[in-house]
């Protein structure tokens, strides 16, 4: 390691600001414009929200397994914690309207406050400048604002629970007229207004982020970093940002339309002749299906926003721990682009039984079938990458491989619903619940865990504990499959989602034991995250200290100090090759950093040499 690399990150981080005092602390760690601090702020916030979303999920599961607390284990009356908090006078039994609020908020928190910001906000921010060799984002102030829009959004969203009528209760999809008519449901009052304002604020945050990512990736790459030398993480972040930039305005506009429907009496989504509480509506002339088209025009690309960055990060992790170049780099890039392109023309598959013209359904069906193709290509390329490699089952690698395994399930189950006649039966059943949890939790969240373990040494200069990490992986992997896999079978029976008590129906009467099993697994899955949180916070302070490149990886970020100081690199990175040249015959080491000049050239002064691989 050259002498230039011994940098104290804390001194560096304060560079450019007035030193000392409270204002120094505030400008360095609170209203920081450094992409790494912002990335970590996003990471910590989203992990807190992840916990909240997970607990909401348990509340939902409790009701599904033991409706109204009947027959709950250990003689627990009503719903634990939440029941006593909100419904003490009813013996802790939650109300049916509260159940609708629970699943609405679970989905809202998980999608808008966890998955999207942890991928784009936390990892996008942290990794993009480091991996392309830039000293920061193109627009640091915009970047800071993008984080600070998240907390007001979350405050407004949480406030919804405490306004009259309670939280939003129309599902995360907020289908009108239920969401528009204040008389239609208790939560369709001020709670729904809070929801719409919160979503709009999240949208503003995402938009500022995506503009920033696009500009940074296009304009600020280090010398030699051509587009086709970018790590797949960056490619996926780039295409995700494109999706955000083009799809998000539609959601924002639709949200404003719903807001005006609610507040100033427009009628975009309200038809003529409808009633609410036996009263005719004040306005009309609109169409409830219009919302669904607008909403899914954003939210279908958004499901790729929620998976593509994880795919990118998993590709990097797999290549690193297979000690082998990624198989088919360009097909991988083209598949990401293909998914994004097709992602704009498949939104109608959410609406096969909505009343949309059935001929239109056929078109969307064919497009949807075709979008399975790039996903399949990616899976085959991941398998090709580990073929004939030298696999190292570190914690990040185990999470990354589980992403592949779980994504196969999530991808294949999608084909059932893409088939329109089959979708008639399994639409809005637990089959779809199983499908998107396999993609979003078993896929994205597992990929994110892998990414946290992988880049943690870069973020904090210390390793996370591997044994605890493997225990965390083992428990999460078992319990998540116990939770989500049986849901497929529930879906085959037709068990509908969003029902507070489905056992009163003859056809679903016998599904209670299966649901109890699922709930136990869900409890185990949330409990297993204690291992993760303990490891995470312990390792920040007490983890084993490491140097720049503990995994022996090729990416640019591993040539910067750990953690990188303000301005990231203590030398000017020059890129000579792509990021996946592992096991290259050109060099003796099994990795070949992007900045390492080819052997025949003389080594310029000031570029740190590669460090040996730490034991894993």
Whether residue 548 is preceded by a cis peptide bond, meaning omega within 30 degrees of 0, is no
Closer residue to other proteins (CB): 2 or 363: 363
Of the candidates 529, 375, 318, 538, the residue with the CA atom closest to the CA atom of residue 441 = 529
Site for other proteins in 283-312 (CB under 8 A): 284, 287-289
Strands (E) across 107-248 are located at none
Q: 306 with 316: CB under 8 angstroms?
A: no
Question: How many residues sit close enough to other proteins to count as binding (CB under 8 A)?
Answer: 116
Instruction: Give the CA distances from residue 23 to residues 32, 39, 146, in Å, rounded to whole numbers and listed in that order.
Output: 11, 21, 21
Scan for tokens 């896999």, then name that residue: 485
To other proteins, the closest distance from the beta carbon of 257 in angstroms equals 16
585 binds other proteins (CB under 8 A): yes
Closer residue to other proteins (CB): 385 or 595: 385
Site for other proteins in 405-424 (CB under 8 A): 405, 408-409, 412-413, 415-416, 419-422, 424
Q: Is residue 279 within a helix (H) or strand (E), and if so which, with residue range? A: strand 279-280
- From the list 48-56, 402-410, 526-534, 562-570, the region that binds other proteins by CB under 8 A is 402-410
Q: 196 with 258: CB under 8 angstroms?
A: yes
232 binds other proteins (CB under 8 A): no
398 binds other proteins (CB under 8 A): yes
To other proteins, the closest distance from the beta carbon of 392 in angstroms equals 5
Helix (H, G, I), strand (E, B) or coil at 424: helix
Of the candidates 391, 500, 371, the residue with the CA atom closest to the CA atom of residue 439 = 371
Instruction: Give the CA distances from residue 222 to residues 128, 565, 610, in Å, rounded to whole numbers and listed in that order.
Output: 12, 17, 19
Site for other proteins in 90-129 (CB under 8 A): 95-97, 100
Q: CA 229, CA 273: separation in Å to the nearest integer? A: 59
496 binds other proteins (CB under 8 A): yes
- From the list 4-12, 50-58, 357-365, 566-574, the region that binds other proteins by CB under 8 A is 357-365
Q: 270 with 176: CB under 8 angstroms?
A: yes
Residue 125 corresponds to which tokens in the numbers above? Answer: 């921010």
To other proteins, the closest distance from the beta carbon of 479 in angstroms equals 12
Q: CA 70, CA 609: separation in Å to the nearest integer? A: 65
- With 0-12 / 13-18 / 19 or more C-beta atoms within 10 angstroms meaning exposed / middle / buried, residue 78 is buried
Closer residue to other proteins (CB): 427 or 472: 427
Q: CA 568, CA 13: separation in Å to the nearest integer? A: 9
485 binds other proteins (CB under 8 A): yes
323 binds other proteins (CB under 8 A): yes
Q: CA 586, CA 596: separation in Å to the nearest integer? A: 11
- From the list 141-149, 257-265, 379-387, 455-463, the region that binds other proteins by CB under 8 A is 379-387
Site for other proteins in 520-559 (CB under 8 A): none
Site for other proteins in 173-192 (CB under 8 A): 175-178, 181, 184-186
Look at the chain and count its residues: 616
Closer residue to other proteins (CB): 116 or 365: 365
Closer residue to other proteins (CB): 14 or 429: 429
91 Cβ contact list (under 8 Å, min separation 6):
69, 77, 78, 83
587 binds other proteins (CB under 8 A): no
- Residue from 427, 435, 458, 548 in contact with other proteins (CB under 8 A): 427
Helix (H, G, I), strand (E, B) or coil at 435: helix
- From the list 1-9, 427-435, 543-551, 556-564, the region that binds other proteins by CB under 8 A is 427-435
To other proteins, the closest distance from the beta carbon of 438 in angstroms equals 11
- Residue from 131, 199, 386, 560 in contact with other proteins (CB under 8 A): 386
392 binds other proteins (CB under 8 A): yes
To other proteins, the closest distance from the beta carbon of 428 in angstroms equals 5
- Residue from 171, 224, 547, 567 in contact with other proteins (CB under 8 A): 171
To other proteins, the closest distance from the beta carbon of 273 in angstroms equals 7
- Residue from 4, 88, 373, 534 in contact with other proteins (CB under 8 A): 373
């Amino acid at each position: 390691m050259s002498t230039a690399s011994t940098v104290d990150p804390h001194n560096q981080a304060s560079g450019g600001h007035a030193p000392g005092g409270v204002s120094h602390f505030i400008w360095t760690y609170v209203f920081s414009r450094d992409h790494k601090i912002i990335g970590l702020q996003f990471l910590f916030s989203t992990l807190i929200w992840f916990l909240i979303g997970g607990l909401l999920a348990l509340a939902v599961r409790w009701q599904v397994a033991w409706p109204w607390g009947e027959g709950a284990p250990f003689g627990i009356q009503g719903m634990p914690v939440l029941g006593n908090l909100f419904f003490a006078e009813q013996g802790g039994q939650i109300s049916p309207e509260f159940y609708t609020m629970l699943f609405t908020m679970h989905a809202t928190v998980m999608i808008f406050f966890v998955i999207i910001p942890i991928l784009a906000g936390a990892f996008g921010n942290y990794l993009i400048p480091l991996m392309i060799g830039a000293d920061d984002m193109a627009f640091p102030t915009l970047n800071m604002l993008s984080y600070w829009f998240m907390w007001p959004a979350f405050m407004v969203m949480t406030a919804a629970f405490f306004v009259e009528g309670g939280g939003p209760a129309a599902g995360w999809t907020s289908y009108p007229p239920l969401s528009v008519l204040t008389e239609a449901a208790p939560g369709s009052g001020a709670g729904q207004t809070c929801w719409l304002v919160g979503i709009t604020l999240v949208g503003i945050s995402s938009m500022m982020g995506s503009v920033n990512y696009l500009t940074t990736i296009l304009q600020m790459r280090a010398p030699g970093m051509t587009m086709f030398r970018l790590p797949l993480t960056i490619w996926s972040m780039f295409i995700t940002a494109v999706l955000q930039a083009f799809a998000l305005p539609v959601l924002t506009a639709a949200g404003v339309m719903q807001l005006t429907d609610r507040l100033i009496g427009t009628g975009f989504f309200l038809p003529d002749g409808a009633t609410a509480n036996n009263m005719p509506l004040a306005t009309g002339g609109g169409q409830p299906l219009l919302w669904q088209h607008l909403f899914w025009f954003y939210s279908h690309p958004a499901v790729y926003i929620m998976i593509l960055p994880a795919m990118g990060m998993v590709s990097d992790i797999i290549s690193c721990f297979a000690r082998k170049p990624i198989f088919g780099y360009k097909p991988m890039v083209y598949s990401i682009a293909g998914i994004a392109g097709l992602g704009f023309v498949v939104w109608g598959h959410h609406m096969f039984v909505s009343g949309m013209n059935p001929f239109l359904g056929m078109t969307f069906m064919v497009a949807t079938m075709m979008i399975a193709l790039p996903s399949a290509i990616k899976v085959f390329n991941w398998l090709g990458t580990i073929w004939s490699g030298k696999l190292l089952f570190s914690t990040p690698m185990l999470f990354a491989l589980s992403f592949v395994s779980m994504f196969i399930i999530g991808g294949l189950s999608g084909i059932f619903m893409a088939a329109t006649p089959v979708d008639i039966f399994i639409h809005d059943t637990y089959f779809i619940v199983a499908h998107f949890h396999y993609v979003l939790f078993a896929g994205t969240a597992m990929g994110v865990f892998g990414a946290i373990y992988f880049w943690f040494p870069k973020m904090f200069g210390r390793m996370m504990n591997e044994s605890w990490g493997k225990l965390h992986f083992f428990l999460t992997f078992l319990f998540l499959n116990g939770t989500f896999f049986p849901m497929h079978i529930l879906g085959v029976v037709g068990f509908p989602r969003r029902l507070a008590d489905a056992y009163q129906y003859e056809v679903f009467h016998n599904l209670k034991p299966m649901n109890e099993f699922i709930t136990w697994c869900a409890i185990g899955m949330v409990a297993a995250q204690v291992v993760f949180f303990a490891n995470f916070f312990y390792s920040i302070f007490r983890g084993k200290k490491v140097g720049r490149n503990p995994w022996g990886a090729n990416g640019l970020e591993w040539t910067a100090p750990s953690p990188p100081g303000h301005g990231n690199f203590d030398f000017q990175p020059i890129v000579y090759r792509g990021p996946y040249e592992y096991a290259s015959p050109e060099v003796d080491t099994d990795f070949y950093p992007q900045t390492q000049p080819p052997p025949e050239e003389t080594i310029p002064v000031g570029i740190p040499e590669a460090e040996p691989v730490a034991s894993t």
